[in-house]
Amino acid sequence: MKQTVKHLTCFCVLIALLCLCCLNGNAAMPSSPKATVRKAVTMKRAKPQRDMQAAMERYLQSAQDQKLNIHSVMVLQHGKVVYEKWLNGGEAQKPHILNSVSKTFTSAAVGLAIGEGLLSLDDKLVSFFPDDLPAEPSENLKKVTIRNLLTMNCGHDTEPRRKEGDTWVRTFLSWPVEHEPGTYYCYNSMGTYMLSAIVQKVTGQKVVDYLQPRLFDPLGIEAPRWDESPQGINCGGWGLYLKTEDLAKMGQLILQKGKWKGKQVLPKDYAVEMTRKQVPCQPAGMRADKVAESKLTLENSDWVQGYGYQMWRSRHNAYRADGAGGQYIIIIPDKDAVVVNTAQLNDMQAEQNLIWDYILPALK
């Protein structure tokens, strides 16, 4: 009898709970196992040294004096966060628009696809999109390779602009290729979009989904968001949103030649080559023949140091991912360090100068 009453009581409690769920508008169903939330993993912290703390105070004061609207700064050395600060509306847990820092993540997807035997640097662009080619593709267009796209050397004299009513792939393929591929640098965000389209073509996945188990999960990067074209392809050259610490993890991974916690996440050879000077370069939107008259030199500019695979070389033997408005992952191998910025500003050279003037000397 007692057992029967016990079962009846449990049954009544269950019914009451179900009714309560219905009244609250919630389905009385267990959540799907596919809805697992991937948890972010934080990096190790180290107590800031006195020199670093003093340097960062001068850095922040100088940024304020120059009216540089920096949203966050994070400094890593020897794999640990030694300084971090959010300001001017920046938030530690809020993903930030990355603009062209997105390109470095697209490059990582290309490197992974190469490592899996799905691509090679010498594959021809036209081979991936035979149905989207112009009626009579030019000889230069036929020569464009994955390597040319990675190094912004696909032969365009000006960056392709998207055309209303046409797919982005067809727009790119119809743009005049006026120079021999591999001989002329032209900053080209649409070229990075084509890399994204190629990765999606050979993997059957959008870049953000392809990277999830291969890059984002190992690094503990939670819920990446990446904008898409109308054709459902991640923008590649822009449109990725991540948190400051996510960028620091990516910088540390590249500093470690693609290795993370003892595991080779990104192929080592590719991680090295993406940071090496592959071609000469100049600032986005500037023609090569205008560099001399612009008075940009190796001593005063971080935009003429050379370009790798969707990464820039910097002064002080450093290299970086960068995005419009002041988004940076700056990797300084000589100091075993990574510096990350998010911001909303125009003078990106002034922003880098702060790093060289204040942070670099404090990295012992």
CATH number at residue 276: 3.40.710.10
- What's the whole-number average pLDDT of the chain? 90
Looking at the domain assignment, is residue 363 inside a domain?
Answer: no
Segment 137-161, tens digit of pLDDT:
999 999 999 999 999 999 999 999 9
**Total domain count, the chain:** 1
| Position with higher pLDDT, 163 vs 117 | 117
> Are the CB atoms for 355 and 348 separated by under 8 Å?
no
pLDDT band at 162 (very low <50, low <70, confident <90, very high): confident
* pLDDT score at 320: 98
φ, ψ at 307 (rounded to 5°)? -130, 140
pLDDT band at 22 (very low <50, low <70, confident <90, very high): very low
* pLDDT score at 47: 84
The DSSP code sequence of 293-361 is: HHT--TTT-SSSS-B-SS-EEETTTEEEEEETTTEEEEEEGGGTEEEEEEE--S-HHHHHHHIIIIIHH
Between 75-79, 162-166, 349-353, the lowest mean confidence (pLDDT) is in 162-166
Does residue 27 carry a pLDDT above 60? no
Tell how far CA 140 is from the center of its chain.
Answer: 29
Segment 76-112, tens digit of pLDDT:
999 999 999 999 999 999 999 999 999 999 999 999 9
Looking at the domain assignment, is residue 353 inside a domain?
Answer: no
Amino acid sitting at position 268? K
Looking at the domain assignment, is residue 266 inside a domain?
Answer: yes
Tokens 């972010």, residue located = 40
pLDDT band at 18 (very low <50, low <70, confident <90, very high): very low
Instruction: Give bridge partners of residue 85 from the DSSP assignment.
Output: 73
Q: Structure tokens of 124?
A: 């021809």
For residues 124 and 196, what is the distance between their CA atoms, to the nearest angstrom?
A: 15
Segment 38-85, tens digit of pLDDT:
556 789 999 878 899 999 999 999 999 999 999 999 999 999 999 999
* pLDDT score at 39: 59
Segment 233-265, tens digit of pLDDT:
999 999 999 999 999 999 999 999 999 999 999
Residue range(s) defining the domain that contains residue 235: 97-322
Looking at the domain assignment, is residue 112 inside a domain?
Answer: yes
Looking at the domain assignment, is residue 364 inside a domain?
Answer: no
Does residue 37 carry a pLDDT above 90? no
* pLDDT score at 148: 98
pLDDT above 70 coverage of the chain, percent: 89
Looking at the domain assignment, is residue 119 inside a domain?
Answer: yes
Segment 263-302, tens digit of pLDDT:
999 999 999 999 999 999 999 989 888 888 888 999 999 9
DSSP conformation class of 45: B
Segment 304-343, tens digit of pLDDT:
999 999 999 999 999 999 999 999 999 999 999 999 999 9
Looking at the domain assignment, is residue 298 inside a domain?
Answer: yes
* pLDDT score at 38: 54
Query: In 6-163, where do the E strands start and end?
Result: 70-77, 80-86, 96-97
* pLDDT score at 92: 95
Tell whether pTM > 0.85. Answer: yes
* pLDDT score at 292: 81
Looking at the domain assignment, is residue 217 inside a domain?
Answer: yes
pLDDT band at 31 (very low <50, low <70, confident <90, very high): very low
* pLDDT score at 99: 98
Mean pLDDT of 2-12: 44
